[in-house]
Amino acid sequence: MSLAGSAEQELFAAALHELLTDADVTGTARRWAGQDYAAGLAVWRRLAGAGATALAVPGEHGGLGASLADVMIACEEAGHHALPGPVAESLAAVPVLLAGLAAEPAVAAWLPLLAAGDLIATLALPPQRPYAADAGAAGLTLLVQDDMAWLATPGTSHPSVDPARRLWSVDGRELLARGPAVAAAAGRAADAGALACAAQLLGAGRALLEQSVQHARQRTQFGRAVGSFQAVKHRLADVAIALEFARPLVAEAAAAQTEGRATAPRDTSAAKVAATDAAHLAARAALQVHGAIGYTRELGLHLWLTKVQALASAWGSQAGHRARVLAALAADEATA
Amino acid sequence: MSLAGSAEQELFAAALHELLTDADVTGTARRWAGQDYAAGLAVWRRLAGAGATALAVPGEHGGLGASLADVMIACEEAGHHALPGPVAESLAAVPVLLAGLAAEPAVAAWLPLLAAGDLIATLALPPQRPYAADAGAAGLTLLVQDDMAWLATPGTSHPSVDPARRLWSVDGRELLARGPAVAAAAGRAADAGALACAAQLLGAGRALLEQSVQHARQRTQFGRAVGSFQAVKHRLADVAIALEFARPLVAEAAAAQTEGRATAPRDTSAAKVAATDAAHLAARAALQVHGAIGYTRELGLHLWLTKVQALASAWGSQAGHRARVLAALAADEATA
Amino acid sequence: PEPAAGTFRAEARDWLRTHVPAGPQPSVDTAEGFGWHRAWERELAAARLSVVSWPAAYGGRDASLLDWLAFEDEYYAAAAPVRVGQNGIFLLGPTLLRHGSSEQQARLLPPMARADEIWAQAWSEPDAGSDLAAIRARADRADGGWLLSGTKTWSSRAAFADKAFGLFRCDPAADGDPATARHRGLIYLMFSLRADGVTVRPIRQLGGGTGFAEIFLDEVFVPDADVIGEPGDGWRIAMSTAGHERGLSLRSPGRFTAAAERLVGLWRRTTGPAGTPGPAGIADTAGPPGTAGLADTAGLAWTAGLAWTAGLAGAIGAAGTAAADRVADAWIAAQAYRLHTYATAARLAAGGTLGAEASLGKVFWSELDVALHETALELLGPQAEIAGLDGPDGRWLDGYLFALAGPIYAGTNEIQRTVIAERLLGLPR
Amino acid sequence: PEPAAGTFRAEARDWLRTHVPAGPQPSVDTAEGFGWHRAWERELAAARLSVVSWPAAYGGRDASLLDWLAFEDEYYAAAAPVRVGQNGIFLLGPTLLRHGSSEQQARLLPPMARADEIWAQAWSEPDAGSDLAAIRARADRADGGWLLSGTKTWSSRAAFADKAFGLFRCDPAADGDPATARHRGLIYLMFSLRADGVTVRPIRQLGGGTGFAEIFLDEVFVPDADVIGEPGDGWRIAMSTAGHERGLSLRSPGRFTAAAERLVGLWRRTTGPAGTPGPAGIADTAGPPGTAGLADTAGLAWTAGLAWTAGLAGAIGAAGTAAADRVADAWIAAQAYRLHTYATAARLAAGGTLGAEASLGKVFWSELDVALHETALELLGPQAEIAGLDGPDGRWLDGYLFALAGPIYAGTNEIQRTVIAERLLGLPR
């Protein structure tokens, strides 16, 4: 299945939005931060009920075999609601990796569980991605290094700037597969993860813009609505522009990955750079529009602010992704 | 002589400002653009009368032997008034070069003429600086290549984006000096020229800010003074900030050059980068505040706008100067 | 989402490859250059490529939006000449197709398509600035038509164009709600720039050309046949032109993607893929040196290093290194604009409309255009300031000066940001 | 223009080298961490380094502005602990020295210098935001003193501090010109945070710490001895504190220059001088791999390349290349701020004053601080998001979160820009 067009995609996004609006994601995130995962996992199960966890799983393995564009819609809504958990990993990178290794029966067996939402998975891809996000909450932790894929055990963990997120170092326990197919699948998984991260950043940026607009309409200062000041208007307009023009880059990279185009790595990095910059702009604007209260954990705004900061460097730094775009352009130029 | 302190420097700047305000620099620039140099050279002679052309010439050769900080004050006022002519060359780079080659009697003979304003000079320093600015108006054109200094003849010329400026390719005619002293003097001359350029950019940026403020106070739009709009205020405030913090970098680089510190090249490049960025910001703001009329030659504003554009790449591009700062920092780090 | 119609794209590309003049293209702001460009428009028209999105009856090809975008892509990629007829083709043409009478369409569109008549716009006025509704030039009722009086300015192409179109105040007494009164009582008119009572004063632009002019009108007679729509309805008609998707609102990405590709090439020449310096230095020559030859041949070699001081020479990075992220960001932004435009075109083709969202695009492309050219000039070194330099690097300066107008015209970016904040985000006025 | 007094600079450097604790420094936002920092302040005080610019009589050294800047340079360069007593030392102390009675000075300054009493500020209120003059908390006249009621917020350090100082409305009826009335009728008061009627509610910040608190005051008695200056004169006194050159207005450049040096080091590790990639890859290991050891040792290796796709591996540039100009610009800006501050200090030492120019510096350092840390985090790779990471790279995230408050507090940058435009440039209100 693939959602037929933008109208269907919009309906799907709206359904996820409604689902997550009804769930108390803010409270859930607070409990997740205390490593109490039950409420969060319940939200994940509801997302699974809407199909979100099955999108990237192939049809022959119990999934929906959707395009990555559809996967990105789910990731964007997850970011829009600051959903805790290994979103980029479990919704995108792991299914893409496992689909490439499904010749191994043990591996294939996990795919339907992922699709159904009975299994939440995470992974580490050293050297670029040495930590498995939220391995403490995941039922399956993987490790791919060089051309080897391992079932892994979480080791020590580090707190992220995002309170509802921990980074785990992992130890390989059982070799699952080895060979060029592993390296190829890992490359696709890394691009899927980076793009899912970009989609979450878009969603988080949108949430920050919405909350800033809301605040600016209600709050008064010097006797006027904060949102009537030209500086506030223009700053929020710049956020809207940045988000608007990052979105088509995410869509293009999703198409490039789905179709296996040679430009997929370049397009993925371009999308990650633009989405990160847009989300950062939204975060800076949100802080400035909210003033001191935005710098606290009083409003819940910090869930989005810190998630943007975490995802900005997750799945590749800005400098690294810019370097990858340049390398691809330089290579094009050299062969042109 | 060196101006004793900032109070004396301010008086000198004010005197030059008054002198150039009285001269019709705008009309002069128009004639200079048509390669009619008489009026412009008359302004230069008045500057010489105030001592501006003698500052960088050593005392024993009929000059004032002032610090480069004093030279930069003259260059800044030249930029402030968009004075046509080879300012960075004749006021800074050539005297510094010739002072280093004054063991040659033929060379030493030019120094008092430069100081008195009887000679306006320009030079080319290939490969970085292949053109001699305004050689058509200069009485002395020099060329330094590798370790050789030549008396040169202007060849073909190219129009600059600044209508009151032409770039000349030059041909070496007579070898003046050769050896390591030439290369060393050329290095100092190049830094003096780049810094003089930075000082002109500061002055031009200041003029653009002043004209923008003036316009914003007088012009009304949508029934209000343009300058009462918050977007205009904040934009011009950013220009004021950028100019304010570029200035101490110019002063520091001048001190580093005067004292022959090892950091002089790095500090010079830092000053050129910051002054260029500040002047560019001023130019963009001026265009935006003035609207369409700023994009024309109706007001004279174009003299500053195009001079900023010309000087931005003269004496080294932004990318080149940033690279030089980084190279110096990397070298420090390596030896630290 | 590339346009499907590969055939038309391929035809356009082939035709442009064989027809775009190889040498330098003269400025459109001199009488000779204007004539040169008019001849080029006629060549385009002869190939039925001058107004591809118009109906076939008037010289077009009924091209879809996506095909029009494909044509624009190819046009910029081929470095084809600036469109001297664009005011007519992209602004007046669509207005006539939507609001003109069939008599007007039949009489005016074919000569416009053939560049037999080149049009200037006459919107702005000296004291109106960005506030278009503050128009004061008058159209007074006369026998069988109107008498125009007043001053129009920032009229691009007017110095050499044949005709002009714009808004005039036909009912100064229109009143009622003062907030909207200024928008009423306007009339949309076309007039000859050679009519009695018209004086055109060229305005020199920043770069020295005369792309703008001021138009003085002293009781210039315009017959009723040259009124578009109803008198008093001019504002509404003009706004529908300003928002026309093939005009300024949906600006084709061709200029930006072509410039981004050139920027990458320039950057590549100033830095290797892993930061290796580009070609540097000049071959030793015997005898007195000269720099004349260098100016036109060695070009970028000079930007690679600035090793004036011997001690630093070994450690100096390539200039391109210090602009690498700007190059990446410019390319990414051009790509984003291209993809966004195609997505918008697809949405419009499916029956969608374009409202205040157009403001998002206006700010984005105009800032992108400046950043692209600024980055190139920062890399270019001592040639960056030379006006009218031959060769591909010579186009950056002109392109930059052109780009600088972007944030000002067609509604300043400040106005656009306010529109975005108030109309899209719902912030209070 | 370096400070002349090399002796004091050298003494401070030597002392700091031998005394700054080597290990991780605990957060100032826990009870234990606060105590740790109080102990550090006492160590500084014992060496007479806690309040170097104060008079010797109160524990200082009568240090000149330039010497104070030198001390700050060395303090940041040594990565010494955050100053838990800074509200008192830099804000209240100078106010007391200028406006306090000699009794107040003798009673309050020595324990402040020794960190026996640590002070919090109590300026902002929940509904006042950036509009400081909108203060509503009251001081009502009582026998021999005042009764405070109301709420103060964004009170940094209040969670664990001993005392607080701030403005209260003592004459609600003060009227006259409404534009200035709000500034009249205010009183500058000091009170104990342990007094009856005081409730302190810690506020969690973005990074999780409780650097702020809300202070609820319910008829808290303050004796007349703890009023600074005259009742009703609080605004003028507070403004003179806010503008005090050793407080916020002339912010020492030490933090920024030290961070810029660290940024250059970080960049250097991710790119060679000519763009050669830094160390990359991980040594092959036999047996099942694990990533635990990597997290703390290999660090930056992961940022060097992103060669997920085999075809591109050879061509990939170092990550540092794509941030080179940001690194250069951050270093240049830190340098500019340092030089500007020293020039201003020299001017003040010569009898100059600092007015609205302080706004230029506020915007500049706060934007610089964000840009510096942002650039570092963009280079840092997967460790960038880890909170409380050990080692020098671990300080970037905390530093970034701290920097984010810069554009907001002490007058938002929007307010500062308006001040610059209206008061320095003369644009109309």
- Segment among A132-141, A257-266, B5-14 with least mean pLDDT: B5-14
Q: How many residues does chain D have?
A: 429
- Mean pLDDT on B286-298: 90
Chain B neighbors of C291, CB-CB under 8 A: 124, 126, 130-131, 143, 155, 169-171
- Amino acid identity of B19? L
- Segment among D176-190, D210-224, D266-280 with least mean pLDDT: D266-280
Half-sphere exposure of B287 (CA within 13 A, CB side): 27
Reduced to 3 states, what is the DSSP secondary structure of residue A225? strand
What angle separates helix C395-405 from helix C357-380, to the nearest 10 degrees?
A: 150
pLDDT digits (tens, 9 = 90+) for B180-194: 999 999 999 999 999
Half-sphere exposure of B255 (CA within 13 A, CB side): 9
Q: How many residues does chain B have?
A: 336
B229 touches A at CB < 8 Å? yes
- Mean pLDDT on C52-79: 92
From chain A residues 232-251, the ones with a CB under 8 A of any chain D CB are 232
Distance in angstroms (rounded) separating the CA atoms of residues B159 and B167: 6
Reduced to 3 states, what is the DSSP secondary structure of residue D32? helix
**CB spacing of A288 vs D378 below 8 angstroms:** no
Distances (CA, A) of C121 to A205, B294, C86, C154, C237: 40, 20, 10, 9, 14
Give the per-residue pLDDT at D1: 37
Chain B neighbors of C414, CB-CB under 8 A: 229, 231-232, 288
- Mean pLDDT on D208-234: 93
pLDDT digits (tens, 9 = 90+) for D71-83: 999 999 999 999 9
Distance in angstroms (rounded) separating the CA atoms of residues A298 and A292: 10
Half-sphere exposure of C377 (CA within 13 A, CB side): 30
pLDDT at D313 over 90: no
**CB spacing of B252 vs D428 below 8 angstroms:** no
Q: How far is D73 from chain A (nearest CA, A)?
A: 28
pLDDT digits (tens, 9 = 90+) for A39-72: 999 999 999 999 999 999 999 999 999 999 999 9
Give the per-residue pLDDT at A214: 97
pLDDT digits (tens, 9 = 90+) for B15-47: 999 999 999 888 999 999 999 999 999 999 999
Reduced to 3 states, what is the DSSP secondary structure of residue D386? strand
State the best of C267, C306, C321 to mutate against chain D, taking most chain D CBs within 10 Å.
Answer: C321
Model confidence band, residue D310 (pLDDT cutoffs 50, 70, 90) = very low
From chain A residues 276-315, the ones with a CB under 8 A of any chain D CB are 280, 284, 287-288, 291-292, 294-298, 302, 305-306, 309-310, 312-314
Model confidence band, residue C238 (pLDDT cutoffs 50, 70, 90) = confident
C379 touches D at CB < 8 Å? no
Q: Which of A228, A326, A333 sits opposite C324 (nearest CB)?
A: A326
A324 touches D at CB < 8 Å? yes
Neighbouring chains of D at 3+ CB pairs under 8 Å are A, B, C
pLDDT digits (tens, 9 = 90+) for C180-224: 666 778 999 999 999 999 999 999 888 888 888 999 999 999 999
Catalytic residues of C: 245
State the best of C340, C344, C425, C429 to mutate against chain A, taking most chain A CBs within 10 Å.
Answer: C425
Distance in angstroms (rounded) separating the CA atoms of residues B285 and B295: 12
From chain A residues 125-184, the ones with a CB under 8 A of any chain D CB are 126-131, 143, 145-146, 148, 150, 155-156, 158-163, 165, 167, 169-173, 175, 183
**CB spacing of C264 vs A227 below 8 angstroms:** no
% of chain A surpassing 90 pLDDT: 87
DSSP symbol at B323: H
pLDDT at B284 over 90: yes
pLDDT digits (tens, 9 = 90+) for A217-245: 999 887 899 999 999 999 999 999 999 99
- Can you give the pTM of this predicted structure? 0.91
**CB spacing of C277 vs D274 below 8 angstroms:** yes
C240 touches B at CB < 8 Å? no
Chain D neighbors of C322, CB-CB under 8 A: 324-325, 328
pLDDT at D280 over 90: no
Scored b (16 or more CB within 10 A) or e, C116-130 reads ebbbbbbbbbeebbb
From chain C residues 148-187, the ones with a CB under 8 A of any chain B CB are 153-154
A224 touches B at CB < 8 Å? no
Residue carrying the six token digits 């703890």 = D226
Distance in angstroms (rounded) separating the CA atoms of residues C206 and B300: 10
Greatest Cα pair distance, chain C, in angstroms, is: 84
Of residues A83 and D296, more confidently modeled: A83
- Contacts of residue D101, defined as CB under 8 A and 6 or more positions apart, other chains included, come to none
Give the per-residue pLDDT at C95: 92
pLDDT at C271 over 90: no
Catalytic residue among D245, D367, D374, D422: D245
Model confidence band, residue C292 (pLDDT cutoffs 50, 70, 90) = low
State the best of B234, B236, B288 to mutate against chain A, taking most chain A CBs within 10 Å.
Answer: B234
Give the per-residue pLDDT at C287: 58
pLDDT digits (tens, 9 = 90+) for A181-195: 999 999 999 999 999
For A234, nearest residue in chain B (alpha carbons): B231
Neighbouring chains of A at 3+ CB pairs under 8 Å are B, C, D
Give the per-residue pLDDT at D357: 87
A-B C-beta contacts closer than 8 Å: 8
Task: List the one residue out of A68, C328, A123, A186 whose CA is nearest residue D310.
Answer: A186
A228 touches C at CB < 8 Å? yes
Give the per-residue pLDDT at A153: 96
- Amino acid identity of C206? L
For strand D212-223 and strand D198-203, is the pairing parallel, antiparallel, or unpaired?
A: antiparallel
Of residues D126 and C294, more confidently modeled: D126
Give φ, ψ of C203 to 5 degrees.
Answer: -115, 125
* C169 strand-pairing partners: C138, C186
For B191, nearest residue in chain C (alpha carbons): C308
Greatest Cα pair distance, chain B, in angstroms, is: 68
Task: List the one residue out of B103, B108, B55 whose CA is nearest residue B254.
Answer: B55
Q: Which of D310, D377, D382 sits opposite A130 (nearest CB)?
A: D382
Neighbouring chains of B at 3+ CB pairs under 8 Å are A, C, D
Model confidence band, residue A292 (pLDDT cutoffs 50, 70, 90) = confident
Number of Cβ within 10 Å of residue B301's Cβ equals: 24
Integer-rounded Cα radius of gyration of chain D:
24
Average pLDDT of the residues of chain D: 83
Q: Is the dihedral of CA A233, A234, A237, A239 positive or negative?
A: negative
DSSP symbol at A161: S
Give the per-residue pLDDT at D291: 65
pLDDT at C1 over 70: no
pLDDT at C11 over 70: yes
Give the per-residue pLDDT at D276: 32
**CB spacing of C325 vs A334 below 8 angstroms:** no
Distances (CA, A) of C175 to B274, C136, C181, C182, C270: 53, 15, 5, 8, 62
Residue carrying the six token digits 């080791």 = A155
Task: List the one residue out of D208, D152, D199 whose CA is nearest residue D28.
Answer: D208
Average pLDDT of the residues of chain C: 83
- DSSP assignment string, D163-192: EEEEEEES-TT--SSHHHHTTSSEEEEEEE
Cis before residue A154, ω within 30 degrees of 0? no
Helices (H), C119-196: 178-181
A-D C-beta contacts closer than 8 Å: 227
Can you say how many angstroms the Cα of residue C412 is from the centroid of all Cα atoms in its chain?
15
pLDDT digits (tens, 9 = 90+) for D233-269: 998 898 776 655 444 457 889 999 999 999 999 988 8
Cis before residue D279, ω within 30 degrees of 0? no
Distance in angstroms (rounded) separating the CA atoms of residues C376 and C398: 12
Residue carrying the six token digits 């001040």 = D419
Give the per-residue pLDDT at D132: 65
Give the per-residue pLDDT at B332: 79
pLDDT digits (tens, 9 = 90+) for C106-160: 999 999 999 999 999 998 888 766 566 678 999 999 999 999 999 999 888 899 9
pLDDT at A112 over 60: yes
Cis before residue C289, ω within 30 degrees of 0? no
Distance in angstroms (rounded) separating the CA atoms of residues B47 and B15: 10
Q: Which of A287, A297, A323 sits opposite D322 (nearest CB)?
A: A323
